[in-house]
Every structure is written in structure tokens, then in C-alpha cells.
Amino acid sequence: MPMMTDKLTPQEQRQLMKTLARANEQGWGIAFGLLLGVGLFLATIVLVLKGGDHPGPHLSLLRVYFPGYSVTTIGSAVGFVYAFVVGYALGRTIATLYNKLSPR
């Protein structure tokens, strides 16, 4: 079965490879944002469900960087937003650097 790229001219193949080699900055940002946001959300919820007098003393130190964050149900939503923003910026930065440094 012939591949689709067999029907392309060499110039079209180069353009296709160039397009595929570029990282989608918004996609990387959203992926990293969701990864960090959901990770912090789940970590906070697990500690809330675990309970105790002082749940998550180490995780609660994030309130230094994320004002309004706490190891509570509402704090998990606040933490998700903060972690998503940080993850989005990190993912977008990585993709931008990759696109700038990758050979064309």
C-alpha cells in the first residue's frame, strides 16, 4: 500500500517535515498546565480526605508562592488555577525554546 508522502514533491515533503517538526506552543502549554494543575489538585484532595489535625504540612508551604492556597477543598481549586498557569508558562517556554533551537 503506497504512503501518502510518495505522491508529494520533494518541496512539499520538506514543507511537511518542517511543519511536523515544530512544537505546538499552545498545546504544550495546555498539556503542562493540566499536568501540574491536576497533580496539585489530586494531591490536595488526597490529603483532605486523609484528614487529621494538620493535613499536608509540607504541601501547605505552597501558600508562600500561591496566595490563597491551602490544603482544603477550596484550596485545591485555587491550587489548580495557580499550577495550571505555572505549567502553561513552563510548557509554552519549553516549546518556544525547542522551536527556536531546532534545526530547520
Give me 34's grid cell: 493540566
The pLDDT confidence band at residue 10, using thresholds 50, 70 and 90, is confident
**Could you give the CA distance from residue 1 to residue 68 in angstroms, rounded to a whole number?**
59
Q: Angle at the Cα of 77 (from 51 to 35), degrees rounded to 5?
A: 100
- What's the maximum distance between 2 C-alpha atoms anywhere in the chain? 68
Quick check: 4 pLDDT over 70? no
The string of pLDDT tens digits covering residues 13-44 is 888 777 777 889 999 999 999 999 999 999 99
Share of the chain above pLDDT 90, in %: 65
DSSP letter assigned to residue 66: S
| Mean pLDDT in residue range 34-56 | 94
Give the pTM: 0.81
Residues of 19-53 as b/e, b for ≥16 C-beta within 10 angstroms?
eeeeeebeebbbebbbebbeebbebbbebbeeeee
**Could you give the CA distance from residue 57 to residue 49 in angstroms, rounded to a whole number?**
14
| pLDDT of amino acid 93 | 97
